[in-house]
């Protein structure tokens, strides 16, 4: 017998959000981990909020909402707030009841400088990393390093001479003709994002306004242990790699770092050796600084094989995390966004390989 539609809006509901979320849903374990990590950040949160005034949206809710935006590839914060409003799973994850009103999307912008800066984002990233260390999921001996371009939220039309004092052309999308002009970062700058640089990573590639992101990966399970955002330049990858290797824990212990041919330079290899790190760098075909002292060891081949796993992290944050092109202006904001993206990547990866919340580690 065919049933009939007989929808009537109920005035009251006796089913809680807790009952709506399946017991086996992966977000259940993830929320438990995130809540435990955020509970340790009370001192950091108290430091950025005033003691008096109207109570704000809890920072824990805002951070969990951003994690949802990364996990489910939600394009904008306006769409994120809209999704939290009607999606019961999202409401449950951030800690809202069915009848609670969702905050306005401008709340994220208002809290950008205070809450989503590099300091707090790195504090959350470090707590995720310490969780992986506690569960013996990371290595402190073998690492890989690489960099990638993150396209800036700026167009070629905004890349103008620094001494250009002409009145801007009227209109939202004016015509700009820069054909035949020599444009470089020394004489030009973007009027939209002053931190963006015109750069291309390889021959034959097109130049674009971008930032450069760098990560240090441990080789045991492919977890990201450090993140750095810099201006795009030909030496930025090697300089950022040395900075991240210097920040690693247990500096007195010998370590190795795998890298591609872009790191094959005398300065980088000597810098690694000063830090007690053996540089397992892929050798260039000509004028290579990689000698037999590096390539003779069996671990060199292993590092060259495992280092390619670092591309999985870059692929994830660009396709899932939405960082193929940043929607934020400035290097400082991008750094906070990148740290949250890689922290989320680590949480997802820890869950797939059996994190500490798994029954085996309980």
Q: Which residues have a Cβ under 8 Å from the Cβ of 134 and sit 6 or more positions away?
A: 356
Say if residues 158 and 191 touch (Cβ distance below 8 Å).
yes
Output the pLDDT for position 178. 65
The pLDDT of residue 57 is: 85
Percent of the chain scoring above 90 in pLDDT? 52
Element (H, E) at 327: none
Domains of the chain, by residue range, sit at 17-116, 139-153+209-329
For the chain, first and last CA: distance in Å? Answer: 50
Q: What local confidence, expressed as pLDDT, does residue 9 receive?
A: 63
pLDDT at 216: 96
Nearest C-alpha neighbor of 81 from the set 93, 70, 91: 91
In this predicted model, what pLDDT tens digit does every residue of 202-224 receive, in sequence order?
A: 777 788 899 999 999 999 999 99
The C-alpha atoms of residue 265 and residue 249 are separated, in whole angstroms, by: 25
Q: Half-sphere exposure of residue 19, counting CA atoms within 13 Å on the CB side? A: 5
How far is 162 from 154, CA to CA, in rounded Å?
Answer: 16
List the Cα angle 171/177/181 in 5-degree steps: 140
Low-confidence stretches of the chain (pLDDT < 70) are 1-14, 165-181, 355-362
Q: Residue 121 has what pLDDT?
A: 92
pLDDT confidence of residue 7: 64
Residue count (the chain): 362
3-state secondary structure 233-248: CCCHHHHHHHHHHHHC
Among the listed residues 361, 65, 66, 351, the one whose alpha carbon sits nearest the alpha carbon of residue 223: 351
Indicate the helix (H) or strand (E) that contains 336. helix 331-353
Burial of 252 (0-12, 13-18, 19+ CB in 10 A): exposed
Give 208's strand partners. 199
- With beta carbons less than 8 A apart as the criterion, state whether 107 and 62 touch: yes
What local confidence, expressed as pLDDT, does residue 359 receive?
Answer: 41
Kindly report the pTM of this predicted structure: 0.89
Residue in the structure block whose two tokens are 């660009």: 318
State the burial class of residue 112 (Cβ atoms within 10 Å of its Cβ: 0-12, 13-18, 19+).
middle
State the architecture of 139-153+209-329 in CATH terms.
2-Layer Sandwich (3.30)
């Amino acid at each position: 017998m065919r049933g009939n539609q007989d929808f009537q809006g109920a005035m009251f509901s006796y089913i809680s959000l807790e009952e709506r979320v399946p017991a086996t849903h992966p977000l259940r374990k993830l929320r438990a981990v995130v809540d435990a990590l955020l509970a340790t950040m009370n001192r950091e949160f108290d430091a950025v909020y005033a003691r008096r005034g109207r109570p704000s949206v809890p920072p824990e809710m805002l951070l969990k909402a951003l994690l949802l935006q990364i996990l489910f590839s939600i394009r904008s914060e306006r769409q994120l707030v809209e999704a939290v409003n009607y999606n019961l799973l999202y409401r449950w994850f951030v800690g809202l009841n069915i009848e609670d009103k969702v905050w306005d999307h401008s709340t994220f912008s208002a809290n950008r400088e205070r809450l989503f800066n590099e300091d707090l984002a790195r504090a959350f990233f470090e707590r995720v990393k310490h969780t992986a260390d506690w569960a013996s999921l990371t290595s402190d001996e073998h690492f890989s390093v690489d960099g990638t371009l993150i396209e800036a939220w700026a167009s070629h039309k905004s890349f103008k001479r620094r001494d250009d004092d002409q009145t801007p052309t009227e209109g939202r999308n004016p015509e700009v003709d820069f054909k035949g002009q020599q444009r470089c970062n020394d004489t030009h700058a973007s009027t939209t994002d002053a931190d963006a640089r015109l750069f291309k990573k390889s021959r034959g590639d097109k130049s674009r306004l971008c930032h450069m992101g760098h990560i240090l990966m441990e080789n045991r399970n492919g977890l990201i242990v450090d993140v750095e955002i810099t201006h795009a330049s030909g030496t930025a990858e090697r300089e950022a790699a040395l900075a991240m290797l210097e920040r690693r824990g247990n500096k007195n212990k010998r370590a190795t770092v795998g890298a591609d041919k872009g790191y094959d330079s005398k300065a980088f290899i000597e810098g690694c050796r000063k830090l007690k790190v053996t540089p397992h760098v892929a050798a260039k075909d000509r004028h290579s600084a990689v000698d037999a002292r590096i390539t003779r060891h069996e671990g060199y081949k292993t590092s060259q094989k495992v280092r390619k796993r670092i591309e999985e992290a870059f692929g994830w944050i660009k396709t899932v995390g939405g960082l193929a092109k940043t929607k934020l202006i400035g290097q400082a904001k991008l750094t906070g966004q990148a740290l949250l993206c890689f922290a989320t990547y680590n949480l997802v990866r820890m869950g797939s390989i059996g994190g500490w919340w798994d029954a085996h580690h309980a």
